[in-house]
Structure 1
Amino acid sequence: MGTNADQMEREGEDDDDIVCLESFFIDDNYQLTTFTFGSQVLQLLCLQSASTDFDLTGQLVWPGAMLLNDYLSKNAEILQGCSILELGSGVGITGILCSRFCRQVVLTDHNEEVLKILNKNIELHAASDNPEYCAGLAAEKLEWGNSEQISQILQKYSGGFDLILGADICFQQSSITALFDTVEKLLRVRKEGKCKFILAYVSRAKTMDSLVISEATKHKMQIIELAGTRSCVGNLEGVIYEVSL
């Protein structure tokens, strides 16, 4: 039988294991990666595969972001001179592309680790040969459904936004109500339906497919599929929706 000192030492080791657990799962081995969308070439730090846990899906570029960026690069006129807020920005690939056309881009995420890499990518573009590409580009913390954080953003950017963007952000059924609650608050700042939410959606489950449509309807929003945007993304089907009040 071990002594009390032995037992305390073992318990201390257990505590150390718990403290170190999160850092064990966090992968920050980012690689500078080049992406091309039409005539636009972006270089971003990102992971090549997902971290295992702790809600760090935002560390890599997801198929829906590729779908949305392809659409935006082909329809850049909708971005010209606009003010945009992106939900679930991750490493910032969509927001940074938009900064080449928009007057102001606010990229948001709720995860502190993801916000670190998001800010690094903003700094990377601020130091580029074309600093005008990052004019008005900023990152803010935003957890969907968090009224305080939403209010802080709307106070800071009091004019509201012309477009709300989201790329591949519908993963968990439990988050969809909070997502549309947030979208509704952001859309209502601009009266007369002047603000729209553009969602690049990738189908992974039929229950989620119907939930996105029904949740928009519950919030009294019109959700339409943009013509010609339904396509194969990897081995999945993707589509771009336009959502408005």
Structure 2
Amino acid sequence: MDNGEENDIICLDESFFVNDNYQIARFTFGSQILELYCLQSASADFDLTGQMVWPGAELSNNYLSKNSDILRGCSVIELGSGVGITGILCSRFCREVVMTNHNDEVLKVITRNIELDDSSKNSTCFTKLKSAKLEWGNSEQLDDILQRHPEGFDLVLGADICFQPASVPLLFHTVKRLLNVGLKKK
């Protein structure tokens, strides 16, 4: 190589890793049967891990389906919703459900699953699902969510969402802001 030449650096963006070849999968939690688009595996590059259902979400959903009375009438926000399996289950019991993720590609599959869920049920029976972009600690995104939900939320859920110790303070800050505003005033 000539000393005057610069090394060519090849940078790959997120589109190189995105796999949107989703298949419909069926999951059963108690009496609830959920169908949603997901992948069987996902790339950890560009944090596309939310394109599949993780074991923690299945464990959480099994618990929630057996203890659905804790959800009845609650407002719930889910952090790191992935494909939305927990939020969709919660919509069977809660008065309000907002599913969040920070990754735009993952938000696309959440939207697709909300549409699939809406088309497969009687709209008078279940809560309307919503989604929102949320990076933990992002004040602008948190303010936007709380402006649309000024009462805050009764429950903040998340499974398989925190793998880096540096993310824990941002997660706690986010949860504190999102919890029911009425509790903060007392």
Q: What TM-score does the superposition give when structure 2 sets the normalisation length?
A: 0.89
Would you say the 8 A contact 1:91–1:114 is kept in 2?
Answer: yes
State the partner residue of 1:129. Answer: 121
Structure with the greater relative contact order (CA < 8 A, sep ≥ 6): 1 or 2? 2
The Cα RMSD (Å) is: 2.3
Distance in 2 separating the partners of 1:177 and 1:105: 24
SS at match of 2:179: helix
Q: Residues 201-224 of structure 1, C-alpha deviation per residue, up to 9 Å, x if partnerless?
A: xxxxxxxxxxxxxxxxxxxxxxxx
List 4+ stretches of structure 1 deviating above 3 A: none
Alpha carbons 1:65, 1:167 under 8 Å: kept: yes
Name the counterpart of 1:42: 34
Residue in structure 1 matching 2:79, options 73, 84, 87: 87
Letter in 2 for 1:110: H
| Aligned: 1:162 with 2:160 | no
What fraction of aligned residue pairs are identical, expressed as a percent? 63
Q: 2:109 aligns with which of 108, 111, 117?
A: 117
Aligned 8 A contact 1:126 1:134 in 2 = no
CA contact (8 A) 2:80 2:158 kept: yes
Counterparts of residues 45-56 of structure 1 (less than 5 Å)? 45-56=37-48
Distance in 1 (alpha carbons) for counterparts of 2:94 and 2:127: 9
The runs of 5 or more residues in structure 2 that have no matched partner are none
Unaligned runs of 5+ in 1: 2-6, 195-245
The structure with the largest alpha-carbon Rg is 1
| Higher strand proportion (structure 1 or 2) | 1
Deviations 1:35-65 (A, max 9, x none): 0001100001011012241111111111110
TM-score, normalised with respect to structure 1:
0.69
In the alignment of these two chains, the number of paired residues is 183
Aligned residue number for residue 14 of structure 2: 22
The answer to whether structure 1 residue 153 and structure 2 residue 153 are counterparts is no
**Cα distance, 1:171–1:41 mapped onto 2, change above 3 Å:** same
